[in-house]
Amino acid sequence: MKLIKQLIALSAIAISAFATAAPNEAPDVLVKRISNDVIETAKADKDIQAGNVNKVTQLVDSKILPYVDFQRMTALAAGRFWRDATPEQKTALSNEFRTLLIHTYSGALSQIKNETVEFKPMRADPADTEVEVRSVVNVARGEPIQLNYRLSKSPSGWKIFDINVLGAWLVETYRGTFATEISKGGIDGLIKKLAERNKDLANKPLKASSK
């Protein structure tokens, strides 16, 4: 579980590289250029390492959330059930899923220690509006681990809508969980379940990483 949190933290930091990207910069170029600096900043921040809730949440809010397409991510995770949801349900579900990922990233950022990210050449045409940025995480012990991103180009720039950790896409992983909850209580049941989970996470302090 600790390793998974570290990988999620690394993906969050790589996502945060989009915060200061030039509007027309290719997604792989901007991630390569900025991610190392962001990683080193997180490693050197004692408040983040100590699990300071306010400091970590501020980092997530300012550097990660603006560059993730939560509505598309939620729609893909909900699958065929998304088209049957009302506009109100779609909004509520997207908000709860967004909050869940905030808690996930916040709890993981303090776990970063000596990991580094190496990016692979991107296989895409300049005219593509959807691309995949591939990378590997170099850990202190063990083999490098795959960490990839799917992005789409929007009027406001590139947005991430899926992440692959250890060969599993985040959207596909949540799709099974969402389908199970929807089969039990419909869309409203899933929204209620996510809200309960978020309330539980909000009441738990972040844990500082071990030395």
- Stretch 1-18: mean pLDDT, rounded? 53
Number of domains in the chain: 1
DSSP classification of residue 45: -
Nearest Cα neighbor of 97 from 197, 206, 17, 166 is 197
Percent of the chain at pLDDT > 70 equals 69
Identify whether 90 is part of a domain: yes
CATH number, domain at 92? 3.10.450.710
pLDDT reported for residue 141 = 75
Range of 74's domain? 2-202
pLDDT top residue among 124 and 9: 124
Nearest Cα neighbor of 13 from 24, 45, 23, 26 is 45
Identify whether 104 is part of a domain: yes
Identify whether 208 is part of a domain: no
With 80 as the cut, is the pLDDT of residue 110 above it?
Answer: no
Identify whether 9 is part of a domain: yes
Identify whether 196 is part of a domain: yes
Identify whether 209 is part of a domain: no
With 50 as the cut, is the pLDDT of residue 31 above it?
Answer: yes
With 70 as the cut, is the pLDDT of residue 22 above it?
Answer: no
Identify whether 137 is part of a domain: yes
Instruction: Tell me the pTM.
Output: 0.76
Measure the CA–CA gap between 105 and 102, rounded to whole angstroms: 5
